[in-house]
Amino acid sequence: MREVLTLQLGNLSNYTATHFWNAQESYFTYDGEKESPVDHNVHWRAGIAADGSDTFLPRTVVYDLKGGFGSMRKVNSLYDEASDSTVAAGSLWPGPSTVYKQPPMKPSAYQDSLDAVTEPTPLTTSTVRYWSDFSRVYFHPKSLVQLYDFELHSSIRPFEKFAMGTELFTSLDKEHDIIDRDWRPFVEECDLMQGMQVFTTLDDAWGGFASSYLEELRDEFPKSCIWVWGAQSPTNDITREKRQLRLANVAQSIHRACAYASMLIPLALPETSLSPQVELDSSSPWHISAMFAALSECALTPSRLKSNCGQASVSDLAEALNTNANQTLASAAIGPLPDAKNNDDNIKDINLFQIGQAGNGNKSKRERLFGRITGYRGPLLEQTRTDPTSDEPQRQIIENPVTRSYSTALQFPLLNSYPHIFTRATGQTDIPVRTILKTDTAISTRMKTLRSQATHLIGLDEREMLSNGIAEIADAYQDDWSSGSDEDDDNS
């Protein structure tokens, strides 16, 4: 059934994935409604609730630290507490036991209104304390994995270094095989899994945890396609030492993840102004993740469409970007599209690839394009057709770039759980969106800059390996044409 399994690692990643799942839930249609072009079996698993009713729950495994789940509990209205009692009954301890529980966290007003099936209470940056505060979906109890070794936002022992993540994964994996315990049960439910997607962060310890997890996944599923969305928090208001630590984490995360992922897409907000059409609070993970979710959800839309609606597998999409078999890192951009009511030619895409600084090189030289995927969600206007080769046979000449474009009339939903970050969409329930994923020679420049900025921040034992690894990634995006002419370069 072309299933895609999702892995969520860390707090900001879970914010992003929550927006993603809310959007997927909105595509379900009911009696009397127009059929959705989305195949729900791709991301949702059928099940039976405690009362015997049929359910659809996300195909995902969610990891977060102690305190990261907020008011969310494994037990919900679809599953009673029998599972907890069963565990207690199976205990090896024959005597009486005493249970100590912290007072449960009170759900947000938004969650209370969803449970009561009343008009939802509007969300604000101050009322969204955790990603569970705006979640609209139920999860299977096996999907939720809380790690008690570290606590969210701890000032005593923050989970912020790459090595902490790798060490935590190693210790947990020794105690019980993580893949077998948490991941394999969801894989075994699939009829024909088309791939996996991972939401993680790159700039903290979750980057290390994700790298070790990806290594195990690649070892267990060597031929599976794995897409990784690597989120990064803004660095505007942090100290120089914190910036350097995050930079070192990003360098190590990219180095390791590129070795195991089929495609890695780093996501970070530009430090400068975003766009006149976007207004968000960079201190709110609810706002930041909304932008990341819009891109990740729209970019892989073809992988979840029905066969008669322009579907493409996650493997097809990865192959279009990885044209030389060693280009597993791609840049991403997103922008609201003009529509019939607001035909604004000045709308600019927001570049979310912020790895390394652009530098002061020869800006007049156009970058060579290797692969590009342009996705359109909404009415496809003539002025948005910027991909003239998308309908031509793939790579008629070996030096030509691979360019693909996909479109669907299904616009990106603006739910009441989604913040009002698109200024021109006030009062609308959805918005047309364009996403661009590409691999080009600009990535080589960025990676070389990252190498010069970050390698000296790493310990001597790992510095040489990291430096060589990033250099190899940069080399994969070099312009290998024998001609020094730029006449055939892509100007995208």
pLDDT tens-digit readout, 418-470? 999 998 888 899 999 999 999 999 999 999 999 999 999 998 889 999 999 99
Give 128's contacts (C-beta < 8 A, 6+ positions apart): 108, 134, 284, 286
Give 318's contacts (C-beta < 8 A, 6+ positions apart): 225, 227, 262, 263
How far apart CA 428 and CA 218 sit, in angstroms, is: 42
Q: Enter the tokens of residue 410.
A: 């299904």
> Is the pLDDT assigned to residue 324 strictly greater than 80?
yes
> Is the pLDDT assigned to residue 28 strictly greater than 50?
yes
Reference 142, options 47, 13, 51; nearest CA is 47
pTM for the structure as a whole: 0.90
Confidence band, pLDDT 50/70/90 cuts, at residue 75: low
Compute the mean pLDDT over every residue in the chain, rounded to the nearest whole number. 86
Q: Enter the tokens of residue 253.
A: 């995360």
Q: What is the pLDDT of residue 483?
A: 40
Q: Enter the tokens of residue 141.
A: 């109890």
> Is the pLDDT assigned to residue 186 strictly greater than 70?
yes
Partners of 44 in the beta sheet? 58
Q: ∠ CA(237), CA(243), CA(245), 5° rounding?
A: 140
Of the listed ranges 66-75, 361-370, 402-411, the least confidently predicted one is 361-370
How far apart CA 53 and CA 56 sit, in angstroms, is: 10
**311 φ, ψ to 5°?**
-70, 155
Per DSSP, the chain holds a count of helices (H) and strands (E) of 12, 15
Q: What is the pLDDT of residue 92?
A: 58
Alpha helices in 35-117 (DSSP H): 82-89, 109-115
